[in-house]
Amino acid sequence: MKIFIPTALWGTSPLKKGGVKELISNKKSDSTGINTTSSKFRGGVENNNKIILVEKTPEISIIVPVYNSAETIKECVNSIVAQDFTNWELLLVDDGSSDSSHGICLELAAQDKRMVALQQEHKGVSAARNLALDKAKGTYICFVDADDTVETDYLSSLYEHHDYDMVICGYFVDEYNEKGELKSQKQYLPSPQKLQIMENKEELLPLFTNGMININCNKLLNTQIIKDNNIRYSRYPINEDYIFMIQYLMQSKSICAIEKPLYHWIRVENHITGINSIPENMLNIFNEAHLLTRNFFKNNDFADVVLYYSYQFIVLKYLNCLAKGNMTKQIALAKLKALNQNVLVRASYAAYKPKSLGDRIMHTLQDAGWYRCYYYLLNKLRQTN
């Protein structure tokens, strides 16, 4: 579950799109991360007149959970096949799709021996990722969503820094209209950093507050750390990505962020995502993340600032539901009142220091629980944009 910058939640919340445009998998003549003289190789497969040798032990395992993604999975896989780093395995995990997704995955896996098509009953994206983690053979792990794509140097650029326990890259947000035409593209980049985590935790704060830690798909992770510490995805419908990543960071010694956008998060305008499925335990899930973040930083103020953005996300999610008619005003305001009385939320509001006049206004309204005013101002902003 991706949590984007909170202000983007207001107004139309675009859904990931299917079939944006066909990618052409033109591979570079050279490859990275593959030793053709190694005794570990076991034959190969021909792909576009190029022989790709397949190792018993791939260097990177790419995990793609698939659920009713028949319109997008080929494009996603094409972008992976086009990588200039070729020593990988791709685990396609169908989560009980009701469309032709699993059949497509089987067809794709039959064409390239580096791909494995798995299937399970519908249990959710967390269970799908966990199944793939159990099966993964790679020294390193990365995640891609079935309706997104990656740059051709996604793997090689991340792998270049594989001596760090976590490697983070930037990403694009590509918005398409319903005709499949690119409407806008924005890029989000981390500040370049190479840090030993235990000595420099406070310097990681920007990676948390700008959302770079929250996301699964802009990272290269060490498989051994995951397996040694039995790190798995919680079966939550929201924020499971962040909880996984903070648990991983607790066991990590080093982190590297590269100022390069390598991942494409694809969305479509005029489609609504997730507003009808706010979990009853949403606040509890974010409180759990809050306590984990406090445990990681060993500094409550840092953690409280990080989680301010998450609680703002909850506020906007409820108000967005109200604006779309998917929740009554009575229920929305009752939920927001409970949020405002939560001890960890209060700590977060107290720790956060607004950075602009608009930010200060919204922070004041949230802190005071004046959600009717908050809702009115957001509606005015929505009408002027």
3-state secondary structure of 226: helix
From residue 367, give the alpha-carbon distance in Å to each of 28, 348, 361.
Answer: 54, 10, 10
C-beta atoms surrounding 279 within 10 Å: 12
C-beta atoms surrounding 280 within 10 Å: 7
Cα dihedral across residues 226, 229, 230, 232: positive or negative: negative
Per-position pLDDT tens, the chain of length 385: 444 433 333 333 334 444 443 332 333 333 434 333 332 333 344 445 444 545 569 999 999 999 999 999 999 999 999 999 999 999 999 999 999 999 999 999 999 999 999 999 999 999 999 999 999 999 999 999 999 999 999 999 999 999 999 999 999 999 999 888 999 999 999 999 999 998 889 999 999 999 999 999 999 999 999 999 999 999 999 999 999 999 999 999 999 999 999 999 999 876 655 444 689 999 999 999 999 999 999 999 999 999 999 999 999 999 988 888 889 999 999 999 999 999 999 999 999 999 999 899 999 999 999 998 888 887 777 777 6
pLDDT of residue 379: 78
Contacts of 318 (CB under 8 A, 6+ apart): 278, 327, 332, 335, 336, 339
Kindly state the DSSP code that residue 201 receives in the 8-state scheme: G
pLDDT of residue 21: 38
CA distance 150 to 350: 39
Kindly state the DSSP code that residue 349 receives in the 8-state scheme: H
pLDDT of residue 154: 98
| pTM given for the model | 0.84
| Residue 64 contacts residue 92 (beta carbons within 8 Å) | yes
From residue 96, give the alpha-carbon distance in Å to each of 101, 120, 123, 232.
Answer: 9, 6, 8, 20
DSSP states of 165-183: SEEEEEEEEEEE-TTS-EE
- Angle between helix 371-384 and helix 329-341 axes, rounded to 10 deg: 120
- The dotted CATH code for 6-268 is 3.90.550.10
Could you state, in order of their start, the residue ranges of all structural domains in the chain? Answer: 6-268, 282-384
